[in-house]
Chains A and B, each alone.
Chain A
Amino acid sequence: MAEPRTDGCALVTGASRGIGAAIARTLAGDGWAVGVNYRSDRNAAEGVVASISLAGGRALALAGDVADPAVPEALFAALEAEYGCPVLVLVNNAGISADDLAPSLSDDAWDAVIATDLTAAFRLTRRALKPMLKARRGRIVNVASVVGLRANPGQSNYAAAKAGLIAFTKNAAVEVARRGITINAVAPGWIDTDMTAGVSTDLLAQVPARRAGTPQEVAACVRFLTSDEASYVTGAVLSVDGGLAA
C-alpha cells in the first residue's frame, strides 16, 4: 500500500465487480481514496470497499446509475465532500451490453447501451475536467473494448458506443493536453467477468494468447495510465486483449 495521496481522489464507475472492482482496488493500493460507484449491487460495492479498507486503503461506496444525467454531479460532490479534495483520477468503466443482431436490435437496447457506455462517460468527463483544469493536472481513463476496434457480430450497439468512446477519448485528450491532463482508453478483449459469462465464446477462440484475460491485467494498464510516469501518454488506446485486435 502506497502512502495516502491527499491532493486528490479517484472515481471508478461500475466498480462493484469485475474490471471496475479490480481497478478500484489497484488505485487504492496506489494511495488514492477511491469512490466505488455502483448501480444496483450495494453488497458487492461494500465488499470492494471493505477489501480496500482491510488492505489499509480508503474507499467509499457511491450508488448511482451513470446513465442518469444528475448522477455525475452527485458522485463528484459526494467524493469531494468526503475527502476534501478534487477528483484527479476518473475511470469511466461502467458499461452494459444488450446484444442482438442489427436487423432485430431494438431501439431500447440501442439507446440503453449508448446512454451508459458513451453518453455517461462524456458527462462524467465534462464534470471531471472542471477541477482538473483548475488543478492543471488529472487523469481520465475510459474503459473501451476490443469491439470498438474490430467487429463482433451481435454487438453493433456496444461496438458503436465503444468506438464512440475511443473517438471521444482522442478528441477530448487533445483539447486539454496543454493543461497537464491526460485522457486515454484501454480496450480490453475477452476478460473473465460476469459480463462475458453468458456471451458466445466465438471471440475467445480467436485470441492469439489462447486464454481469457483477468480484470487485474486490465487494472494494471489503468494503473499505468493514471500514474505520474504516464504524463506524456494521452489520446492513446491501450489494447489489453492477448493480441485480439492486432
Chain B
Amino acid sequence: MKPVLEVSGLKKTFRESIACQVDNLQVGAGERLALVGPSGAGKTTFLRLVNGLEQPDAGEIFVKSGSGKRDRGVMVFQRPHLFSGSVYYNIAYGLKLRKYPANLVEERVAKAAVQVGLEHALGWNVATLSAGEAQRVSLARALAVRPRLLLLDEPTANLDPGNVRVIEEVLQGLFEVTILLVSHNLAQARRMARRILFFNSGHLEIDVPAQDFFRASLSSAHGLFLEGEMP
C-alpha cells in the first residue's frame, strides 16, 4: 500500500518538555487510525505538525495527499471555527481558493452538503447553527476539497449522539480517504479505526491493530489508560 503519510525522527518541544515525538510512522492510503492517550499526550500536536500548523524542532514529515502545495491534508478541529456568512460560503471556501470554476464549486458544495445532511441549509447564516450542525459544516468544507488525508481532532467531542452518529457514518463512507482521528472516546476509536496509535507523555508509545490494542495490556501506561486510571 502506497504511503500517504511518512514520519521519521519527529520531535517537537514546548518549554523544554517533549510535546510530541514520533520516531517512525507510515500510514497507507485509505487507512483509518485513531490517536488515543491521556490529555496532553501529544495527539493534537502530532496532527498539527502533520498539517503544518506547527513546525517541528527535528524530523521529517512527508504528506502525499494530493496535488500541489495546498494539499497537506485537511484538519477538522474540535471547535468548528466557521467563517462568518452562509453555510455555502464555508463549504465553498477551499474550492474557491483553488480557483475551481463556478459550476464545479456549486456541484462539490452541494455534494458535500448532502454528505453531512445539510443540503437544506446552504443559505443559512452559520450564526444560527447548532453545535452539531456547525461541526457538520466544518466537516463538509473539509470534504469538499476532497483531501486524501483527513485529520480529525476530537470532531465529535461535546456533540449529541445524533450528530455523532451522522459524522461517524460520513467518515465510515470515505473509503479512499486516509483518516487520523484523535478521540478520547475509546468506544468511538474501536468503531472507527483499524489501527490505534497510543500517545503518552508526548511519545508515540504503541502502534498496533485495533483488535490488539483492546485485547490486553501492552505496557503499564497502556494498562492504566484502558482501565481509566489516566485522565
A and B held together in a complex: no
Q: Which residues of A contact B (CB under 8 A)?
A: none
List chain B positions with a Cβ less than 8 A from chain A.
none
